[in-house]
Amino acid sequence: MGGSGDTGDLDGALMPGMATNAELDRLRRASGREAEVLYLKLMTAHHRGGVHMAEGCVQKCSVDIERNLAQGMVDAQKSEIALMADMLKKRGA
């Protein structure tokens, strides 16, 4: 994931798409619809980070099994992103 240019404090996030400590604290304090919406938004960002990472392997990996595994991850994560978008829409978010 190099090249992002972000070398600052990531507040506990280990890579793009990972929730920060502040976001996790907010999720812990939330309940009901607010918790559901925040969780879905955080997971959507997490999946987008995973897609970005796996697409790197799809483009650059020379070993078929690794490239195929990465493509499967891209496809699955994109499918789950679409599902979470529908869930957010149903919650008015």
Detail the DSSP E strand segments found in 1-93.
none
Q: What is the pLDDT of residues 54-74, one digit of tens each?
A: 999 999 999 999 999 999 999
pLDDT over 50 at 43, yes or no: yes
Domain limits, the chain: 21-90
Which of 40, 70, 68 is CA-nearest to residue 52? 70
pLDDT over 60 at 2, yes or no: no
Residue type, 55: E
> What pTM does this model have?
0.81
Residue type, 83: L
3-class secondary structure, 79 = helix
Superfamily of the domain at 21-90: Ferritin, core subunit, four-helix bundle (1.20.1260.10)
